[in-house]
Structures are given as structure tokens and as C-alpha cells.
Amino acid sequence: MPRTASGRSSLVEPLPHHISCDAVHVAFRADPEIIAAFLPPGLEPLESGEGWAMVAEMAKVSLSAPDQAWKDPARSSYNEGVVGFYCRFGEKIGRYTAFVWVDRDWSMGMGPIFGWSKRLAQVDRSRLQGCNPAFSSMGPGAVAGGTVSRYGTSVLRLSVHVPEDAQAIQALPGHAASTFLHRYIASPSPDVPDIEQLFELTLDNMSMSPVWPGQGAIAFGHADDEELRALGDVDVTGGYLYQRGWTTAPKARLLYDYGPGANR
């Protein structure tokens, strides 16, 4: 999208894409009944009400254009903010990202392909450059924060403070789970039904740096066209700094088709 004669104008290059993130990550618990309102039909929140928020610097390398990362860095780097929840489809536990904010239109173009609800925003995070005399590197003593805003109004603010005596861990606490995707495309005609589907996506080539645990903090803003305030006061359970990489390939598995007469 858009489709053109050569494809050069498409927002998104052909998949697969190699993706990585440098993340400020805050884990929290919220009321499961409130979380349920943010989940598509068929997904149920965990009784523990587990969720997370993340602001990250991201990198994308398309296998179809591997030199793009250095020839045209603006087409290969972006910032992203997310808020998501652990949930259940039947007996399977997975992650569902309810909110995504990005600062590049081509990243937003991935939304309708897979079902990520991306919106354009200003997304920023601390850059922990170890050569800067004012910063610690991503380890003991490091402090990092991230913000998301739209049209001058705050949407999300979070931070992680790693204590001086912190010990790195090898994985984020929680569930090693695949991703649930809710793909919804409204119809332009009364003669054609909306497209609404639930998918499961597993990621390939996963890699993870050491994870630095610390104290997390999170605040939701008051933007009129955002809904995060409905979560109320959440219970922060941890904060983490890390880098992670993976490959996103077109291998999502259809779990449920909500359309009339669809083969479910």
C-alpha cells in the first residue's frame, strides 16, 4: 500500500524484515475487567491483569533492500511506544498489543498487514551513550525514560532506574508467548463486509541482550483521542532496559474470522 506499477512507492518493502529495539520497558498489573475492554472478541485477560508499556528506538532491515539501512537511514530507523497485555485464547497464552505509536509513516503501514493498531506520534527516549560524561551505559546506575505525545498532548510517560547493585538477568520475567493480532479493515461499501480476523504470529531469529532490572514508573496522559486513562492507577511490578532482535515474516496463523459466513 499504495500499489503502484513498480512497487517503489509502497510504504512497506516485501517481508521478511529484521527488527531490533533498544527498549525502556515497564511491567504493570491492572484490573482484568478493565483490560478486557481493550481486547478483541475471543481474547480474555489473565486473572493477574499483567500488562506492559515500552518506548524504544527501533531498527528495520528489509531482506529485499538490505543496503537501505546505511544508504537511507530514515527508511530504516524509527521510534515506537506500545502498551499491551498478556491474555488467553482458549488455553493458549499470548501477548496482545492494544496501542502502538510510531514516528514514521512506513512503520504505520505495517498496521493493516498484520493488525497492529499503529498511530503517528512524537516518540522519544533517552539515549544512553556511555561516552557521555553525564550518562551511565545500559547497566548499574542507568536511568532512562520515554515519552509519547500527539498534537502537543502527553499520551504516555515512563522511566526505569537501574540500581547500582543490579545484576543482569537473561530474560524478561513473565510469559514466553507468541503474539495475538487483531486485523480490522472497515468496508467502503454496504455490499461488502468488514474484514475482521484474529491471528497468531511467532517471531523468528529471536535474540536478547542481558536485561537490566530496575524500578519502573509510568503515567498516562489526558489526550482527548486516547483511552489509556481508563486503565486507572496501575500497579508497577518492574522496569527493564534491554535490546532485542527478531525477524518478522508473513507466517501469521489465522485463529478466528469474525466475518459473516467465514470459515472459522
Q: What is the identity of the amino acid at 247?
A: T
263 pLDDT higher than 70 = no
262 pLDDT higher than 70 = no
Residue 6 located in a structural domain: no
pTM (2 decimals)?
A: 0.94
Residue 38 located in a structural domain: yes
Alpha carbons within 13 A on the beta-carbon side of 12: 17
Residue 177 located in a structural domain: yes
Residue 135 located in a structural domain: yes
Least confident of 2-11, 15-24, 77-86, 165-174: 2-11
Domain total in the chain: 1
Which residue do the cell numbers 518478522 mark? Answer: 248
Question: CA-to-CA distance for 160 and 238, rounded, in angstroms?
Answer: 8
Residue 63 located in a structural domain: yes
174: nearest Cα among 27, 20, 24: 27
Which pLDDT belongs to residue 3?
A: 83
Q: What is the CATH number of the domain that holds 200?
A: 2.40.400.10
Residue 7 located in a structural domain: no
Which pLDDT belongs to residue 10?
A: 87
Cis peptide bond N-terminal to 133, omega within 30: no
Residue 131 located in a structural domain: yes
Question: Quick one: pLDDT band at residue 131, thresholds 50, 70, 90?
Answer: confident
Alpha carbons within 13 A on the beta-carbon side of 19: 19
Pair 3, 10: CB distance under 8 Å: yes
Which pLDDT belongs to residue 176?
A: 77
C-alpha radius of gyration, the chain, whole number: 19
> 102 is in which domain, residue-wise?
17-257
